[in-house]
Every structure is written in structure tokens, then in C-alpha cells.
Amino acid sequence: MSALSSRKGLLALLGLLVVVLAFRYWPGAPVAEPAPPRPSASGAGARKGGAPLDPSEIPPLAFHQERGEIGGDVVRNVFAFHVPPTPTPRPAPPVPTPVPAPGAAGFIGPRLPTPTPSPTPIVAPAIPFKALGVFGPRDRPIVTFEDGPRLINAREGDVLDGRFILRRVGRESVDFAFVGLPPEITKRIPVLPPDALR
């Protein structure tokens, strides 16, 4: 019996606490305002003429209203004039060159294919020697050449002046190849007859 009465008392106390809290924090509940101080004739509440202030002329302070907070960072200053950023100009697309149609004044005709370049022929240099005669054994003949005041004796395979290769020696002519050129490019000079040397 005592446990039941203590439980009822506890519930009653809890209910009373809920009512007090609801009355205290209920929106729009009247909040007791502090009494304004009494003005004195000689204090700061006195008027210029010396008459005391009427308490009804002082506006009450709103203590129940809380000051709000701004969430996040302030992006734009409302007191400054907003200048939009200057857009980057885009270059104008190139204007295509008009191609004249067939029959127009500027029409030239179909474009011919580019001709295939022909290979440049290799020109062998001139041979400055004169073959004066051939002597020696038949299997390894010797040729005497004249180059101005010089007389040069050479056999097949010799290189003259670092440029001319004596390729073949015959009784009536000799053939030369050239250093740095393909071996099939040759040049032939005659062997002067004996009566031409007199």
C-alpha cells in the first residue's frame, strides 16, 4: 500500500514538473519583465527642464527574442555594387575560302596530280688523263698516263688522284670507275696510237 502511494506521489510530482516547464518554455508565454528604475529628479532619467521621465515612455526590451546566426560564409557583400566578371572572348571561326563552281569566272578546272619526280642522273666527272701507251706482260699490262707535266704508270685496280679507279686495260682503250659512285658507272678513254705521239 505504501509503495502504491509513493508511486502515485512520484507521478503527481512529475506531472507538476512537466506543467511548470511547459508554462515556462511555451512559445508566446508571458515573460516577467524587470521593473523600470525609479527616475530621480537629479539623476540621468531627468529631462532638461528638470521634470522626471514617465516610465511608459521607455520601450521595453525584448528578452525573449534570440539573435539569429548566419550559417556558412558570407559570399556577397550586400553593400557593394556587384560587377560581373568580364567574359573571355572566343576567337571567331576561320572563314572558309569559297571554291568557284564549274562555269564560274574563277573556275580553273580539276587539279592535276603532282608529277612523280624523275631520278637525277649521275654524271661521271671528266677524266683529265691521256693514255699514252700500254706495255708490260699481257696478264698485268701497265698504262702510261699524261696529266699536264706529270707521267703516271698504273695497272688495273690502281686509284689515281684518290678519285679515279683503273678498272680495265685494253690495247686500244682503258676504262675508269669512280670513288663514291656505283661500280656500274664507268668511262672509257682511248689509248693514243704510237704515230700520234710523234
pLDDT of residue 81: 74
pLDDT of residue 130: 92
pLDDT of residue 41: 46
With contact defined as beta carbons under 8 Å apart, do 152 and 145 qualify?
Answer: yes
- Cα angle: 60, vertex 66, 68; to 5 degrees: 135
Backbone angles phi, psi at 98, to 5 degrees: -70, 135
Distance, in Å, from the CA atom of 147 to the CA atom of 189, rounded to the nearest integer, reads 14
pLDDT of residue 166: 94
pLDDT of residue 2: 60
Contacts of 153 (CB under 8 A, 6+ apart): 142, 143, 144, 145
pTM above 0.85, yes or no: no
Residue 140 DSSP label: S
CATH of segment(s) 130-193: 2.30.30
Please state the three-class secondary structure of 32-96 as a single string: CCCCCCCCCCCCCCECCCCCECCHHHCCCCCCCCCCCCCCCCCCCCCCCCCCCCCCCCCCCCCCC
Task: Please give the average pLDDT of every successive group of 10 residues along the chain, which has 198 residues.
Answer: 71 86 70 54 52 73 59 64 82 84 76 81 88 90 91 93 92 92 91 74
